[in-house]
Each structure stands twice: as C-alpha cells, then as structure tokens.
Amino acid sequence: MCLIFLNLFCLFVASAAQKRGSIEEFLSRPIPNEAHELTGNALVEYVNKRQQFFQTEISSLTSSDHKARLMSEEYLTQPNLNRNELMTGLLDVEIPENFDAREKWSQCDSIRTIRDQSHCGSCWAVSAAETMSDRTCIHSDGKINVGLSATDILSCCGTTCGRGCRGGYPIEAWRYFMLHGVCTGGHYAEKDVCKPYAFHPCGHHRNEIYYGECPKEIFPTPQCTQSCQAGYASDYEDDKIYGKSAYALPNNEKAIQREIMTNGPVQAAFMVYEDFSRYRSGIYVHTAGRREGGHAVKLIGWGVDDDGNKYWLAANSWNSDWGENGYFRIVRGVDHCGIESAVVAGMPDV
C-alpha cells in the first residue's frame, strides 16, 4: 500500500515538472505504467496537473456508465471494403488553417445539432445519421434541411451492421443508406419526424427535461418497425432519403480535410480511454486511464491554437452538457487514438 502511494506521489511531482511544451513533445514521452491504472478523481487530478492542453472534470458517472455509451473495439476496423469504397484521390483544393462546417454551411441546422445517444452504444448509428443529415442538406443546397433517424439505422440494419446498442460498423450504416434509405428522425420524443430517437436522455442535464436516471444495463436494441410514429403525416417509405455512395477515406490528414471542406462532415471512429470520457475542454491528448472501448463521432472541421497545436473539431453524441457544449477538439495529424484511420462518408442521392 505504501508503495502505491509513493508511486502516485512521484507521478504528481513529475506531472507538475513536465506540464509545459508542445503536444508533439508531450506525445514523445511514454505514459507511466501507474497512470494507465488511474481512475475517477485521482485520474482527473493527475491529468489536469500533467499537461496544459485539455482539462478533465469530476463526474458522477462510473466507468460502467462510460462503457455503456461505447462500442466493441472490433468495430474500429473497416470490414470488406471493395475498390469503389476506397477514396484514394486527393481533391484539388487549398486547405485553410481553420475550418468549421457550421460556418460554411450555416443554413444546415443539423450541423449545429448535438444529439444524446443515452445508455446505448449506438454512436456508430447516431454519428452516421448526423453526417448523412448534414450532407443531405449541403448537397441539396439547403432544400432538404431535416434530421435523419439514428433509430432507423440502429434497429433495421441488423447484424449486417453489427450488434445494435453494443456497436456497429460505420461503413455499413452508409451502405444501408444506399440500399434501403433512412427516414427522418432526431431527438427523443421529437414530433415532426418519422422515427424519433428510441431512448430518453438519462440523468440530469442543464436546460433539458429530466426523464430519469440511467439503467444499470444498456438499453436493448429497439425492434425494427416499417412505419412512422402515430400522427406523422408521411408514409415510412415515402419519407426516406437515400445515399448514392459509401466510401472510406485514407489515413491522410489532408485528404480528410479536403473531403470535409468540399463535401461536408465525415464520420470517424477511434479508441476511447477514461480521460476522454472525463474531458471538459481543450485539445484532447491521451494522458492517463484505461482503455474503455470504441467510439464514433462526426468531424466538422479543424484549427490551430495559439501555441501552434493542430486539432480536429468534432461533434460528440453525449448531450450538450459534455465537453465544449457537446463538441471536442483532438490532436490532428498523428492519428491519435486512431482518429484518422477509420474515417468514412458517402454522398446523398439528392
């Protein structure tokens, strides 16, 4: 026991001494073995003392709560891509230092919308529906400004996509969009859509209705229904929007940037550690904590901070209370936690 406390004390002393410097320099240092085992408040204190790039916060959520929002690591791979699904060419556009899809396509409401996936590992379906919604608006010149249904993808893609609330392959969601189409959807209990989100936000959130606490286990994957909610004006099949392509981007920073600024946000999957789950603000760089699982999010832009550190700008699906009003920044250009190695997108048929 004394040895454990001595090791932790040494970690905190070392963290205070090593706090300054660039992200590149920080990443060149190995993470101490003891830091991998930190959790809860000890992890938050250590992370905030060791580096200045991002801040974590104390939360009532447990590691089990965090894992309920993640997917199995197996879904971080790209399954059975054919040649047509590999986007190998680089678009010939000049890349600005900073870019934000919310500003370029300000007419598209979905790009500014943060969803709440609740106690279900549906990130792969939620971030896919978000990105499909954005691109549908962008490529229809704002004429189709709707949200598409994560529930439709989550419940109806079946084992082709994965295991529902336990995870799925993002690229398969885009293939489903091409073959079967996706109806309109959005938040839990939303009225003017075909299929609102299946699960209520759990726990207390600022400026949001309290529906109850999170269950001990993840929500079961909802059953697929071929109909819209009662009172919705349109037929399920008539409500659908289809995709016309699905593809994976190369692990190439510039290729991802050009794709975003030309065609809209993209979907990215990466590995999550506990320090990310406790992220509050800044440019995330993995510092301590155990691996918790895979996650999928929407990349909407990039930038450079005042110290010259490059980052991706991403929308999460853990409610707008989390992070920077639902968004986060993560170090760019080094495939940190795999953020650049499993990027997918597609084009809508509009």
Q: Helix crossing, 123-139 with 170-179: angle to 10°? A: 50
Q: Which of 48, 66, 120, 123 is catalytic?
A: 123
Q: Which of 66, 119, 286, 295 is catalytic?
A: 295
Q: Is 295 considered catalytic here?
A: yes
* 3-state SS class at 156: helix
Q: What stretches of the chain adopt beta strand conformation (E)?
A: 54-56, 99-100, 185-188, 195-197, 243-248, 266-273, 279-284, 291-304, 310-315, 327-331, 343-348
How many Cβ atoms from other residues are within 10 Å of residue 78's Cβ? 17
* 3-state SS class at 158: helix
Q: Hey, what are 233's tokens?
A: 């004006």
Strands 279-284 and 185-188, sheet pairing? unpaired
Q: Which of 108, 316, 319, 337 is catalytic?
A: 316
Residues 6+ apart with CB under 8 A from 255: 87, 90, 91, 249
CA atoms of 253 and 147, how far apart (whole Å): 28
How many Cβ atoms from other residues are within 10 Å of residue 276's Cβ? 24
Q: Is 316 considered catalytic here?
A: yes
Residues taking part in catalysis: 123, 295, 316
